[in-house]
Homo-oligomer: A and B are copies of this chain.
Amino acid sequence: MTSESETSFLANYNIHDFDVPLTSVDMTIFTIEDDTLKVLLVKRAQFPAKGQWALPGGFIDLTRDNNLDETANRKLREKTGVSSSHLEQVSTYGSPSRDPRGWSVTIAYMALISCNELSLKSDESSEDVVWAPIDDVRNSYTLAFDHGTILEDCHQRLKNKVQYTSLPISLLPQNFTLSELQRTFELILGSSIEKKSFRRRVLAANIITETGELRAGSNRPAKVYKAISRGKQHVFPRNIEGPR
């Protein structure tokens, strides 16, 4: 496959002979806490944009990462301690002006995690880490670079996907009740869902199974379910329509 002259071409090839953009990975990490959809923000401890809020992210480790998903997973682990969850590449952004260091490209990932399986970690790159309610970000946080746009695009992707996939299951702990799942869908969708429709739809899709346990309360106990294949998303052939 590799001819003799290709070998010599490669021997003489030096990546630094050309101008290449800076390339990084940024993460929009969603969770649900206190009945609210939240996103992970870090206060940058280093230049550029030192002291500003931003999405967590960083450079590809060329010696360790074997692909972009590994970079994203590494970032997720560094900030949250979580290693598995729904991880999805959303979009890639590039321009000469989005970072003051020059032409830069960032691959944006969206991650969904259950808030009770994690422990937030600051590190040398961030002086503070918070779960910001998504609705507060626009008013209470000024995000560095084009992270406002990236966050909006990821949020929009999540809102779209709640309409035709089972994705929000990844925001819950392993075990959950149908009411909890419905509430999660409603939080993302921003409107209420009719209970019977929701249950029919989810149960007919054959993606969750009863654990046999019951969740007690001062009311009728709810059946506890878990995903049949955790992390896999079901695609429905029809959107949730919402109230008519």
Contact = CB atoms under 8 A, between A and B. Distances in A.
Number of copies: 2
Interface residues of A, number: 43
A143 B18 CA distance: 25
A34 interface: no
A217 interface: no
A23 interface: yes
Contacts of A2: 100
A110 to B, nearest CB: 14
Contacts of A18: 59
Interface string A24-36: 0000000000000
A66 B96 contact: yes
Interface stretch (A6-14, A118-126, A179-187): A6-14
Interface of A: 2-3, 5-6, 9-10, 13, 15-16, 18-23, 47-50, 59-60, 62, 66-68, 71, 89, 91-96, 100-103, 105, 107, 237-239, 241
Contacts of A66: 95-96
Contacts of A95: 66-68
A74 to B, nearest CB: 13
B22 A101 contact: no
A68 to B, nearest CB: 4
A179 to B, nearest CB: 25
Nearest to A7: B100
A92 B67 CA distance: 10
A101 B67 contact: no
Contacts of A48: 6, 9-10
A68 B95 CA distance: 7
